[in-house]
Amino acid sequence: MSTAAPVIKSESVVAEKGSSLWADAYVRLKKNKLAMLGGIIVILILILCFIVAPILAASGMNANEQDLTNRFAGIGEKGILGTDQLGRDLFMRVLEGGQISLLVAILATCMTVTIGVIYGGIAGYVGGKVGNIMMRIVDGLLAMPFLIIVILFREIITGHIDDIAKLLIDDWGWNDNTVLRFANLIPLTIAIAAFGWLTMGRIVRSAAASLSKQEFVEAARSLGLSHTRILFRHIVPNMLGPVIIYATLTIPSFILYEATLSFIGLGIEPPNSSWGKLIQEGANYLETNLTVLAVPAVMFSLTLFAFNFLGDGLRDALDPKASKD
């Protein structure tokens, strides 16, 4: 019997192949048409902003070139989507604005995931008093008015980042244009991430707390693995699902924060522009020409739609218990 059993087992494994969590999730996601549409739009927007726009820019289309004889050109009259109040090409402007908006949101989300996984993971794995105190700090920070704290924090670090940028340009000989453009979006990114990781931290903590009670963690412990190794090699990979879901939903909310702050003039500053900045400029010329507002507003709203539907779909696919269906 001891020789026959492994043979049967290996056959049954072959028969059941293909039902891993991720394969299951993909099948469920494919059934959700809105989520798939969202995913396709997300990919298209990313391609437009990060691949098409640089190619067009390299081939001579300039987002900042003014043409005062062709102000407020309509869709198709000049360029693909017309021109703005200074005769600049709207299509290029909206793509380059999108680069900044998406870059800020994606960078901030990466920071959020890093901080949230480390902090929440430790709080959940260690648990007890230390874990409790760590989560109380998160509760306290969550009880503060988010946008207001972000605005303040951005104001504080802006000066320091500018100093670093100057140092890079003067002493290290870096390309000043690139450095200055980055220096402008980094403070906002850091400020959003610095207070945006809290919910991620909570989600990771509860996942880590329930995982660390499971038998495979006990087995790892009895094998004498170090705590760091257990946490980052055994617990963290197992909570990829909730982390991916929440990260996907974090991106649109960060795009929104960036746009809100840029809209009131406390975010991205010229020469950079972002969707929020473009919408704000467009709103000023609303009565002269609608496309100046409509083009960035549509791109911005479409992006939020796409990310949110994709995130909701991923949640339904990866975590069927949590979804309300």
Partner 1 sequence: MLKVILSRVIQTIVVVFFLITFVFFAVRAIPGNPFAGEKALAPEEQAALERQYGLDKPVPVQYYNYLKNIFTKGDFGDSSAMKGRQVSTLIAESFPVSLKLGIVSLILGMGIGIPLGIIAALFHNKWQDYTAMVIAMAGICIVAFVLGPIFQLSIARPLSFLNVAGWSRTSDIILPAITLCFGVAAYLARLTRGGMLDVLSQDYIRTARAKGVPTLQIITKHALRPALQPAITYLGPAFAAIITGSFVVENIFLVPGMGQHFVLGITSKDYNLVLGLVLFYGILMGIANLLSDLALIFMDPKLRNS
**Site residues (CB under 8 A) for partner 1?**
140, 143-145, 147-149, 151-153, 155-156, 158-159, 252, 256, 259-260, 263-266, 276, 279-280, 282-283, 286-287, 290, 293, 297, 300-301, 304-305, 308-309, 324-325
Least distance to partner 1 from the beta carbon of 66, Å? 24
Helices (H), the chain: 4-15, 21-31, 33-47, 53-58, 90-126, 128-142, 146-172, 176-196, 198-211, 215-222, 227-229, 240-263, 275-284, 291-318
Output 110 or 151, the one with its CB closest to partner 1. Answer: 151
Burial of 108 per CB tally in 10 Å (0-12, 13-18, 19+) = buried
The least distance separating partner 1 from the CB of residue 278, rounded to whole angstroms, comes to: 11
Looking at the Cβ atoms of 231 and 293, the one nearer to partner 1 is 293
Min. distance of Cβ 300 from partner 1 in angstroms?
7
Contacts 24+ apart (CB under 8 A), 61-68: 61/89, 61/92, 62/89, 62/92, 63/88, 63/89, 63/92, 63/93, 63/95, 63/96, 64/88, 64/271, 65/89
Q: How far is the CB of 9 from partner 1 (least distance, A)?
A: 38
Task: Kindly state the tokens that stand for 305.
Answer: 């739609």
**b or e along 118-156 (b: 16 or more beta carbons within 10 Å of the residue's beta carbon)?**
bbbbbbbbbbeeebeebbeebeeeeeeeeeeebbebbee
Mapping DSSP to helix (H, G, I), strand (E, B) and coil, where does residue 89 land?
strand
Nearest to partner 1 of 88, 154 (CB atom): 154
Least Å distance, CB 264 to partner 1, is: 6
| Nearer Cβ to partner 1 (21/152) | 152
83 three-class SS: strand
Provide the 8-state DSSP code for 323. S
Whichever of 61 and 304 has its CB closer to partner 1, that residue is 304
Considering the complex, state which of residue 241 and residue 311 has its C-beta at the smaller distance from partner 1: 311
Residue 170 CA to residue 200 CA, distance in Å, equals 39
Least distance from partner 1 to the Cβ atom of residue 252, Å: 8
Q: What dihedral angle (degrees, nearest 10) is formed by the CA atoms of 205, 210, 216, 217?
A: 50
Compute the least distance from the CB of residue 249 to partner 1, in Å. 11
Q: Which of 231, 255 has the CB closer to partner 1?
A: 255
